[in-house]
Chain A
Amino acid sequence: MQKISRRSFLKIAAGVGAAAAVPLTLTMDFKVFAQDIQDDKVTKVPSLCNGCSSTCGLWAYVKNGRLWKVEGNEANMKSMGKLCARGHGVAYNVYDPGRVTQPMKRVGDNKFQPISWEEAFQEVGTKTRQILDEHGGDKFVWACHGGKETYAAKFLDVIGSPNYITHYATCFTAKTNIWDKMCGGMYNPDFDNAKYMIFAGRNYAGGIIPAAMKRITEAKEKGVKIIVVDPRFCELATIADEWIPIRPGTDLALYLGIAHTLISENLYDKSFVEQFVFGFDFFWMYNKDFSAEKAAEITGISADKIKELARDLAANAPHAFLEPGYHGLHAHYKNSNETAMMNVIINALIGNFWREGGLFPAASTTFGHPEDTYFGPKAEMGSRADGAGVAGQYPLVEAGRGIPQRIPDMIEKGQAKVVFFYHYNPLRSAPEPEYQKKIKNADLVVSIPCDWNETSVYTADYILPENHYLERMEHPKVINGNIYWAAAQVAARFKALDATSSSLDLLDILKGFTTAYGINNLYGFTIEEDMAASLGPIGISPDKLKEEGCIELRTSVLPKIEGITFNTFTHKIEFCIGAWKKEGFIGVPTWISPLVEPQGENEFRLIHGKQPWHSHIMTTNNPYLMAITEDYNGTYMWMNTERATKLGLKEGDWVTVANDIATKTTQVHVTEGLHPDCVWVPSTYGTYSDKLENGYGKGFNYNDFIPARVDEKTGHVMGQECIVTISKGGK
């Protein structure tokens, strides 16, 4: 009889003969072994949290190769020693048996076969090659979250595909697009020195950055005035001096009313505008009739309050700001682009750019890169399948971000044949899941996730699991943005936990895939070599970075009055966007009504936002975070008390939410803390992959109700241009 069968998993290790005796090093008794390993040392390894895109710095404490403790890194400007609940929960995911534990091949509807990495590479590489040889390299799409090195660009470059698409059109693409066009990039608020802060469309206590909340709280303790404009009494509003419940979709009118007051009352910083603004007169010409009174009619905020906000901003300028916002306003309304423009304009009118207590660009640095190792042929670059940046299609959309909600359409039109999803789950995070499910009609779909997300389960032909972030070393990262910090910081993920090779690093996945595709040595470097090459030009060694966890570079962004310049065509802040004029638009913001309005007694605008213990859909399956959801009835939909009473609803009642795309049921939270025009749901829930055991079937997601629209200027989804009817009952 055979010692070990043909299909045996266990093998005699190479170079080792069959055991002739029981080695003395063997501790056979489990209790003794478990006791012995308690004496192992605890070591600490730096990493960056993967719980949201803030990438807070952390230390992973490790004992016998496993996670012993995780804590925020004091030196990191995002964490300042603290991690939020999500950060802790996501770290523990590493031991979740619900991870995809090895490569999977679809063998039927909802049926997968575990296969080896070797088989996976061969099959995916060969199939991709066959399809692209027949249809052209530009039929390949790489879709990902964005914001980190994915190495995919090298492959796209060789095959001639420009189709690198990120999720931003469903998040905040109007903001980055507009700020770049108007002032050459993003600017961040100086929480430490401001005397007056207005937050609109950004809830730092819900979409948490620990260091930002720390600094806002400290500012509050110093007596700084904090105003929160939000249809919902959000978590940040709980610490604000004032909560202003605006009618959803009308922030643009509020901003126009503030700007009107600043200009008509001569409160704006004329000297700043003269020196650093282009297009002021043009802007004023179009908006001189949009008074605070007019804004009041639209927003539901009194004209006096609007004027007060303008006067307070001016009185505290330049130590004041209208916070630039984030997800809340910048992909969700027909007027999101103009809202973003007005944010720039109000801050410019109070002259706070580069001023203490105002706004500053992010300090940054430039990394090196490993030398090229591929010198073979490259295909001619095709044109973008999503039309981003393409004349006659979506010329104003940033090609670097793309239009992800168009992927099913691209597949239907034959513009996309092979689609790779890297840590991106459009079947849950993009509009209209039933429409997104058409992604499975592509010739080949490959998903590189950590868990069994909906996109993998419903559309992927192959699932190639990437390992948990604590199990891998990654290309270093510049830590900056969102909060003013005078110096750039450099940090990286280092491998903290034992190899769990059932999943692989992205670089190794791409090496295996591209080799099987037939491109040799495209990634002829190790992750260690990549790290060394990246850090080389800034004089940091990987060892030093590993020892310190986070290294701050020289101070490079300090307040200044002289020498201010903006990275635009005129080197000024452009109130009028030239590229828009070229495409036939006015170029300056003017009032634009939301696309849809609730009309009837049971109609509401459906809006959404983050809960402090979840990162949109990323954390929905985390047992620790879902336990918090249970404790706080976190899946409930918020509704204004007066509207609820009219519908005969009380706390916890079941309701049916419907429009022409979807019908869902949920329970209601009845509250004074919400504008009557809307209902609010957390952006987290509605998991429909039942493989995601902890999140499955809990609550619903706003994406269920919105069509996959594309804004003509910046490509966003208009995610809150959505009316639903609500009726009692349904469970």
Chain B
Amino acid sequence: MEKIKKWYGVLMGSITEQNKAYASLFIIFADLFKYPEKENYNELLNGEIDKQIEQLSRLAGHPIITSFKDEIGSYEEIVQAFNDCFLGITTPFAPPVESVYKVWTTDDSFQVPLKNQKGHLLGDSALHIRHIVQALGLEIPTEYEMMPDHLTILLELYSYLNQEGLISEAEQFKKDHLDWLPDFYNSLIKIERNQPYSNIVLKLNEVLKQ
């Protein structure tokens, strides 16, 4: 009985080809914030990623054109950029994590100085993502449990909601959890070696705003 209660709810909407293309588009963007394996680098370099983004965004009804292939240098350079931007062997760095760009908690009862500050992991937004992931019966890898609101996970989750036809949920999700990209961009451009990542964020924001 409990199980039935738990799963009784709004039936999924119908899934169109357009939904599917839109969903796939964000899987591609999600991949770009992971560590650049050689294979992904080659896909970027030979224009495969730009081509897929162009096709999927057109099918999805949100056409954008990217030219990431022209913005990346050697493989070593993109690895260096990933280090500088996200791991930050040089400072400043810009973790692709939502909590870092938002006030840690709105719960005023907390008695730690970070409660009203930005710049910390596992803020309210991370707890919400963890909640959504669990409620939908999904899992995130152990390496990301401390930052369930990592941009890759957010984009995969947004993609999943669209893929499953949960359109109003996806809209709400976008409004709540993908609104920090301008702040993220501003942090990125303070880093000397910010390409291709700052451009990827610009394009991502562009498609989300359409």
Contact = CB atoms under 8 A, between A and B. Distances in A.
A153 interface: no
A33 B157 contact: no
Contacts of A20: 7, 11-12
Contacts of B111: 61, 68-69
Given A20-B12, A502-B144, A11 B135 contact: no
Given A9-B140, A37-B107, A69-B110, 20 more contacts: A1-B24, A2-B24, A10-B139, A19-B136, A19-B137, A21-B9, A21-B12, A22-B10, A23-B137, A24-B5, A33-B131, A65-B127, A92-B114, A102-B143, A107-B79, A112-B83, A112-B87, A114-B87, A500-B146, A502-B144
Interface string B33-70: 01100001000000000000000000000000000000
5 contacts: A5-B31, A27-B131, A99-B121, A452-B89, A501-B146
A95 interface: yes
Contacts of B21: 1
Contacts of A17: 137
- Tier of interface size on chain A: 35 or more
A111 B83 contact: yes
B187 to A, nearest CB: 11
B135 A502 contact: no
A308 interface: no
Given A37-B127, A502-B147, A97 B12 contact: no
A13 B80 contact: no
A38 B109 contact: yes
B6 A23 contact: yes
B76 A25 contact: no
Interface stretch (A44-52, A348-356, A514-522, A690-698): A690-698
A34 B106 contact: yes
Interface of B: 5-12, 20-21, 23-24, 27-28, 30-31, 34-35, 40, 76, 79-80, 83, 87-93, 95, 97, 100, 104-107, 109-114, 119-125, 127-128, 131-133, 135-147, 150, 152-153, 156-157, 159-160, 163-164, 166, 169, 172-173, 176-177
B127 A64 contact: yes
Which among B106, B119, B141, B143 has the highest number of chain A CB atoms within 10 Å? Answer: B143
Contacts of A111: 76, 79-80, 83, 89
A110 B112 contact: no
Nearest to B34: A7
Which among A10, A22, A111, A624 has the highest number of chain B CB atoms within 10 Å? Answer: A10
A457 B89 contact: yes
Contacts of B137: 12-13, 16-19, 23
B110 A63 contact: yes
Contacts of A4: 27, 156, 159-160
B138 A11 contact: yes
Which among A2, A95, A116, A503 has the highest number of chain B CB atoms within 10 Å? Answer: A95
A117 B141 CA distance: 11
A696 B141 CA distance: 32
Give the 6 A-B residue pairs with the shortest CB-CB distance, closest first.
A500-B146, A16-B137, A30-B176, A26-B135, A95-B120, A69-B111
A92 B135 contact: no
A439 interface: no
- Chain A binding surface SS class: loop
Given A3-B160, A9-B153, A501 B87 contact: no
Contact of B88 (A63, A67, A693): A693
A112 B125 contact: no
A33 B173 CA distance: 12
B10 A29 contact: no
A33 B126 CA distance: 11
A401 B17 CA distance: 67
A42 B176 CA distance: 26
A96 interface: yes
A148 B173 CA distance: 46
Nearest to B141: A9
Which among B24, B132, B138, B150 has the highest number of chain A CB atoms within 10 Å? Answer: B138
Given A97-B97, A114-B87, A502 B139 contact: no
Interface in A90-143: 91-92, 95-99, 101-104, 107-108, 110-114, 116-117
Contact of A8 (B9, B76, B88, B156): B156
A696 B21 CA distance: 46
B83 A97 contact: no
B56 to A, nearest CB: 9
Contacts of A34: 105-107, 124, 128
A16 B159 CA distance: 19
Contacts of B106: 34, 38
A18 B163 CA distance: 11
A25 B6 CA distance: 6
B166 A502 contact: no
A651 B105 CA distance: 42
A70 interface: yes
Contacts of B164: 18-19
Contacts of A114: 35, 87, 143
Nearest to A501: B142
Contacts of B128: 27, 30, 33-34
Which among B10, B87, B93, B157 has the highest number of chain A CB atoms within 10 Å? Answer: B87
A28 interface: yes
Contact of B132 (A5, A26, A112): A26
B143 A28 contact: no
Contacts of B136: 19, 23, 26
A69 B153 CA distance: 29
Given A22-B169, A26-B132, A501-B142, A9 B97 contact: no
Contact of B133 (A10, A24, A498, A502): A10
Interface string A679-706: 0000000000011010010000000000
A595 interface: no
B160 to A, nearest CB: 6
A34 B137 CA distance: 21
Which among B11, B112, B123, B173 has the highest number of chain A CB atoms within 10 Å? Answer: B112
B57 to A, nearest CB: 14
A396 to B, nearest CB: 42
Given A33-B131, A457-B89, A502 B10 contact: no
Contact of B11 (A7, A21, A108): A21
B177 to A, nearest CB: 7
Contacts of A104: 87
Contacts of B173: 28
Nearest to A107: B79
